[in-house]
Amino acid sequence: MELQEIRALLKEMYGGENKPITDGNYDKPLAVKCINGTFVGRKKENITVFRGIPYVGQQPVGDLRWKAPVDIVPDNGVYEAYYNARSAYGNGQLETGSLYYMDEDCLYLNVFTSDEPSTKKPVMVWIHGGGFEAGGTIDPVFDCVNFVKENPEVIVVTIAYRLGVFGFLHLSHLPDGKDYPDAQNLGLLDQVKALKWVHENIAAFGGDPENVTIWGESAGAGSCTLLPLIPGSQKYFHRLIAESGSVNLTRSSDEAIACTEKLMEALGCKTVADLLKVDAERLLETATAVLFLHQFPERDGIHLPTDTFAAYAGGAAKDIGMLVGCNKDEMNFFVSSFGLEGWGVWVEERKKGKLAHLPAEEKALVDSFRKDVEGDLFQPDASLFSQAWFNAPIIKLSECQAMGGGKSYTYYFTPESPDPIMKCGHAIELSIVFNHSEATSDMGRSFDETFCRAMRRMWVQFAKTGIPSDNWPLYTLENKEVMVLDEFDIHPAKESEVKIVDWDRTYFLTKYYAL
């Protein structure tokens, strides 16, 4: 499908522009009064959806580009909440959400709730993925009508945040950068601000602000695992679900500064003032060309600790219940998405980085691992990067959470696509968890419906109670038990039985974060 066709489809499904309602002519039962206005949703069967609610007082445009999100202000106005807001500027090569019309005016959220009466519904807040540089809530897979229809006892909120060069750009080292101390982690600060809005307003929708679960996949999962480490954030949520993403999807301050310098050189800029004169389209185009999959949050020692794993091991998130896991063949998704030639180029570029500078004994371990991987020519590297980016960090996160006195339920998702390249790749579980059986293009087939319902039920049960199912064991340092999400045999097992990670030859790579 061509870009314009995709945009037209998304506009038909969700597009439009929310406007103030000044004549008093609106459906009062579909209106909810919040601090920053009364928002009127639309009803689909027994589900009411509120789209495009702003969660900031001013959008990050003009002089507010690269500034921290602004608090909402009281507003007695009445506003349509009929249409999804425009997506944050992002890389359309990676995610459908970035194929819709984009704007720096992008900090909005959506609320999905059922008619089932309650004043204390558990709340699940979805944070989309996309490598921290793509994606958006408008992706049809993230439409939660089906999910809430099946699980009417919960409310789901989906949030947008700044991406890539707009959300994760180190600027404070520049001559005029002292006024931009937060630019390196703005996307995460946006998420905290959205959670603050949920905390202050969700009761008006029937939600329980004291029972909020954050939930994400890929960069969204990385966000969910990083948010507990941001000072002051934990008062806004109580549990997290992280699908295929962890605290390793970050970069050091030196790495972030190097990325900024590369961008500045490509743009011919010397100062923040120069950057502010560059239009958003050119910023996005240039960053996509020179910083592809390098624009991660920064372990800056301000908003995030310099060692995120150590923070977990020290108990920083011990009061946050966790459900985390990975898919069996994570990186095969990227092989399929990039194409074999594109994958080869990406791998070689990555190998010139941290892998090239490993000590000899560590290089020997990596080479030994690759040598033992069976399959097509791309598979040794795909398996290596699956281990380094996803499998090993997620197991390490569970280890660290246990060390810190916290609780972690850990899973291993195994159903395969008939596509010999995709196998059980990254993100193929999304059609399951959002109850979109029609969105199985990555999988290449439908999943068993009993399995799908069981998986969704575990997610909802965890959000409600903190325990996904009666037979799901906690991950402990002694037993290292996980739940194997096999399509026809969901069962607990010791990690040593399913071998999620190679403890001797890849686990050590977690100290390098994202290779």
Active site residues: 218, 330, 426
Phi, psi of 135 (to 5 degrees): 105, 175
- CA distances in angstroms from 18 to 155, 202, 426, listed in the order given: 22, 20, 34
Helix axis angle, 360-372 relative to 379-386, nearest 10°?
A: 120
Strand, coil or helix: 92: coil
Phi, psi of 268 (to 5 degrees): 70, 30
Largest CA distance in the chain: 73
Task: Give CA–CA dist 127/365, Å, rounded.
Answer: 35
Task: Give CA–CA dist 428/444, Å, rounded.
Answer: 9
DSSP conformational letter for 236:
G
Any residues with CB less than 8 A from the CB of 339 and at least 6 apart, and which?
A: none
Q: Are 480 and 487 in contact (CB under 8 A)?
A: no
Within the chain, how many helices (H) and strands (E) appear?
16, 16
- CA distances in angstroms from 507 to 32, 255, 331, 446, listed in the order given: 49, 22, 16, 33
Strand, coil or helix: 351: helix
